[in-house]
Structure 1
Amino acid sequence: MSTITPSSSAAPERLTVAGAGLVGSLLTLYLARRGYAVEVYERRPDPRRAGSDSGRSINLALSDRGWRALEGVGVAEAVREVAIPMYGRVMHDAHGNLSQQPYGKPGQAIYSVSRGGLNRRLLDLAEAQPGVQLHFGQQCLDINLRQRELHLRDSASGQEQHVAFRRLFGTDGAFSAVRSAMQRTDRFDYAQSYLEYGYKELTIAPTAEGGWAMEKHALHIWPRGRYMMIALPNLDGSFTCTLFFPFEGEESFAALQTPADVTAFFERVFPDAVPLMPELTDDFFHNPTASLVTVKCFPWSFDDDVVLLGDAAHAIVPFYGQGMNAGFEDCTVLDELLQRHGEDWQTIFREFQQARKPNADAVADLAVYNFVEMRDKVADPRFLLQKKIESKISAQYPDQWASLYSQVTFSHRPYAEAWANGQRQDAIMERLMRHIDAETDYDKPEVQELVQQELTRSN
């Protein structure tokens, strides 16, 4: 077993990143472009050679926070070339009837991107930077925080080694080895919670001509009360579908044991999707069923030696499309602190966790909140009417009202502030909707007066 000490020849110092996923590869780009030499250690094989992991390729919804982070290292346009804009939701009811709901103002969109494709692109860009070294197939067996040392095993050879670090950035995901080591320190708070739902990836195939079988520029949702399926477009004409479904119960993963069970269930519950899914049963039994976890912890740093970012610090469920965007925003904030404080790492890490922790907790709560909205409310005519009224209020009072979704998705407003505003606006809408039975009711003088009173009171 060998011990490797990082070289001190690079200026200003050599940094270590644990995890080469989306956040780790973007963070490496940020650090390298500030002149740091960076060693990156990743448990998995190089995805550029091994291909993407089956069952983990849920398409991601890239929105303003993520774009800002990509722009910060000059790669946004390269990513935009392989991203598909989605301007709203298309809801599919149990009879195949469609309804639509825009995401924001005309022209505003979230973008469907491939997790694997984006990760590979960021790794290529990171590896091209001077001083960056990527090490794949390196399982972290342990971390000695006091001695600043990683204990690694090479997955190909089985050889173990101890690798010294001076500054360690933990971007190794929801089940982070770096965080696990920090959990053994005094007064470290940690909580994880699982939904009773899992998810499974399925596919809607391209048409025979290679086009899209449904509206390309939309996120499709089949809301069914206790569960739902969604679909995001891919460049090849297919859609990546994700079934969010209870693990157990009368309608659950546990209840669908045979191809006949799956076919009968989908034909009954998602009848318009079945003709578009020729590989349905193969996908269902081949692709794994994954769990949905929320992780909250604190502190995110250990002295000035170690800091957590992304899912390692704040894993969330995917229902607001903000997991990647929040992790990318971590990189933006950390880079701003580097600009402000130079190499005062103690201050950088302290201010980073103080700034990001409340926002990470807020977006975790928002993600669970949006799950209920997506699976239940988007099929409710009363809810859709409320959204139309909110849109009218926003157009009439743009300086006083922006939807919660717009605040989270199309702005850089702190998540905690957006969540507080959203809760205030929900309370206002609950009172207003008692006086509204149709969209035209909004124009009645008495309703207009109520709106003005509510906005005045809330401000």
Structure 2
Amino acid sequence: MEGSPERHSKKKVVAVVGGGLVGALNACFFAKRGFDVEVFETREDIRQAKIVKGRSINLALSHRGRQALKHVGMEEKIVSQGIPMHARMIHSLSGKQSPIPYGKKGQYILSVDRANLNKELLTEAETYPNTKLNFDHKLQDWSAETGLMTFVRPDGSTEEVEADLIVGCDGAFSAIRKQFLRRSCFNYSQTYIPHGYMELTMPPINGEFAMKANYLHIWPRNTFMMIALPNMDKTFTCTLFMPFEEFEKITTGDEVIEFFQKYFPDTIQLIGADALRRDYFRLPAQAMVSVKCSPYHIGGKCVLMGDAAHAVVPFYGQGMNAGFEDCIVFDEIMDQFNEDFNAVLPEYTRVRVPDDHAIADLAMYNYIEMRAHVNSKWFLFRKHVDNFLHFLMPRAIIPLYTMVTFTRTRYHEAVERWHWQNKVINRGLLFSAAGAVLGGSYVLIKNPPDINKLIVPAEKMWNRLVALRTP
């Protein structure tokens, strides 16, 4: 349902705290409905900043995120600024490259630049006359009862704003969420994984990509891995994921080269030995945190979305997509309850919490898959089996990755269906193998082979081998 200013006799004010990806997109959703929207961001306007602070890790845009962008008319523009990745490209130690397609022909995920996407969404939010962007505004305090917020500016002065709805989109270390922690019956957990990440850049070669562009490149090494995503400027952003203790063992430029020579030898020439020596020590390895909480709301006044509600580790490529889907799910519930915040917010918590917890768990699982399982013959065999069965029975059997990445199947339902499918397929493979053994045994019993016929060819083969070895 599209909104317009005429729908509200007194337009309600929505304050979006956080001007990152989810906050900027949320501003578009609420402005489109006709609310007066104010966005408050602690940082300066990244569109005017010389250096953009914060995470630069590439993003993988897929169906859920695209659907949310489509709702505010941004899908085509963002897609045109991304690079399609049709498959994982697995790099072995020997340098052999093996693609593992993501889905059916024509299905792909998009490598998009985080900073550029954020800038585009802020610019789009600003096109709505009922939206105001406030930068350099740090949240000091707020009230869940009155909706009154106090912000501090860089010069130390404060500003008070009152809103009908406060939307916390201020990231994994949310200032909005701190108020939730003071209230009873609020469940919260955060988990830092023992692995960190470090970004390196692979420059173009003769003005072109150094590797095949339309792939997410992975160097799986069991306990750690490196990935590379393509950028519009023909570079690759390489991200090394590894236990912190392993990062700390490397203390000199020569040790960096030795490490890459041992585990990623094909990348040294592509990244450049001098660049590796220099860039490895430019910043320490960064931490990754997973956050779960519930409920996502307080009364009808405040709601959490994006990383403020559910920060996830980046290994399923769903962090941004889940945050963007928060926006569209909330919008759908707004239609369902006629924009009554007192009804919308509890329903949003009820619907969204199980899904966000499910994707948080899947993201943890997928790290193990990416760094280790992709080397397994059984894993590759099961991929082929799953894809073949999906081709034969597209509605009955759907691979987990397809459900998560190329549909809007609810995350927790996708996990439940995945477990059920695994049981069915594994039992089917077990029965098939047992049937083949029994069938083969029956044929051998009924038609035993003539031993003499087997011995004679074997003797002839042996005599030929002896003759070949005789000088």
TM-score by length of 2: 0.87
- The change in CA–CA distance for 1:442 and 1:105 in structure 2 (over 3 A counts) is farther
1:338 to 334, 341, 344: 334
Instruction: Give, in angstroms, the shift of residue 381 of structure 1.
Output: 2.1
Instruction: Give, in angstroms, the shift of residue 402 of structure 1.
Output: 0.8
- The change in CA–CA distance for 1:376 and 1:54 in structure 2 (over 3 A counts) is farther
1:55 touches 1:287 (CA, 8 Å); kept in 2? Answer: no
Residue number in structure 1 paired with 2:232: 235
Instruction: Give, in angstroms, the shift of residue 182 of structure 1.
Output: 1.2
Separation in 2 of the partners of 1:48 and 1:179? 27
Residue number in structure 1 paired with 2:60: 61
Larger CA deviation: 308-317 vs 378-387: 378-387
Partner of 2:288, secondary structure, is strand
- Following superposition of structure 1 onto structure 2, how do residues 36-435 of structure 1 map, counting pairs within 5 Å? 36-51=35-50, 53=52, 56-155=55-154, 157-208=155-206, 210-248=207-245, 252-278=246-272, 279-434=275-430
1:88 touches 1:100 (CA, 8 Å); kept in 2? Answer: yes
Percent identical pairs in the alignment equals: 42
Q: Supply the AA of the counterpart residue of 2:191.
A: S
Separation in 2 of the partners of 1:398 and 1:268? 43
Separation in 2 of the partners of 1:301 and 1:383? 40
- The change in CA–CA distance for 1:343 and 1:434 in structure 2 (over 3 A counts) is closer
Instruction: Give, in angstroms, the shift of residue 446 of structure 1.
Output: 8.0
Q: Supply the AA of the counterpart residue of 1:75.
A: M
User: Residue by residue, what CA displacement relative to the aligned partner does 1:7-32 show, whole Å, maximum 9, x if unpaired?
Assistant: xx995212100001100000000111
Larger fraction in helix: 2
Instruction: Give, in angstroms, the shift of residue 289 of structure 1.
Output: 2.2
Partner of 2:139, secondary structure, is strand
Instruction: Give, in angstroms, the shift of residue 201 of structure 1.
Output: 1.2
Separation in 1 of the partners of 2:23 and 2:436? 51
1:389 touches 1:442 (CA, 8 Å); kept in 2? Answer: no
User: Residue by residue, what CA displacement relative to the aligned partner does 1:369-413 show, whole Å, maximum 9, x if unpaired?
Assistant: 111100001112221122112111111121210100001001111
Instruction: Give, in angstroms, the shift of residue 273 of structure 1.
Output: 1.0
- The change in CA–CA distance for 1:263 and 1:34 in structure 2 (over 3 A counts) is same
Instruction: Give, in angstroms, the shift of residue 428 of structure 1.
Output: 3.4
- The change in CA–CA distance for 1:443 and 1:314 in structure 2 (over 3 A counts) is farther
Larger CA deviation: 311-320 vs 280-289: 280-289
1:89 touches 1:220 (CA, 8 Å); kept in 2? Answer: yes
Where does the alignment leave 5 or more consecutive residues of structure 1 unmatched?
1-8, 448-459
User: Residue by residue, what CA displacement relative to the aligned partner does 1:154-185 show, whole Å, maximum 9, x if unpaired?
Assistant: 13x23233333331000001111111111111
Instruction: Give, in angstroms, the shift of residue 111 of structure 1.
Output: 0.5
- The change in CA–CA distance for 1:399 and 1:259 in structure 2 (over 3 A counts) is same
2:23 touches 2:169 (CA, 8 Å); kept in 1? Answer: yes
- The change in CA–CA distance for 1:442 and 1:37 in structure 2 (over 3 A counts) is farther
2:145 touches 2:301 (CA, 8 Å); kept in 1? Answer: no
Answer with 1 or 2: which has the greater Rg: 2
Where does the alignment leave 5 or more consecutive residues of structure 2 unmatched?
1-7, 441-471
1:386 touches 1:433 (CA, 8 Å); kept in 2? Answer: no
Partner of 1:304, secondary structure, is coil
Separation in 1 of the partners of 2:351 and 2:149? 28
User: Residue by residue, what CA displacement relative to the aligned partner does 1:402-441 show, whole Å, maximum 9, x if unpaired?
Assistant: 100001001111001101111222333444555789xxx9
Separation in 1 of the partners of 2:322 and 2:337? 22
Q: Supply the AA of the counterpart residue of 1:188.
A: F
TM-score by length of 1: 0.89
Coordinate RMSD, CA, aligned = 2.2
- The change in CA–CA distance for 1:430 and 1:43 in structure 2 (over 3 A counts) is same
Moved over 4 A (4+): 432-437, 441-447
Partner of 2:287, secondary structure, is strand
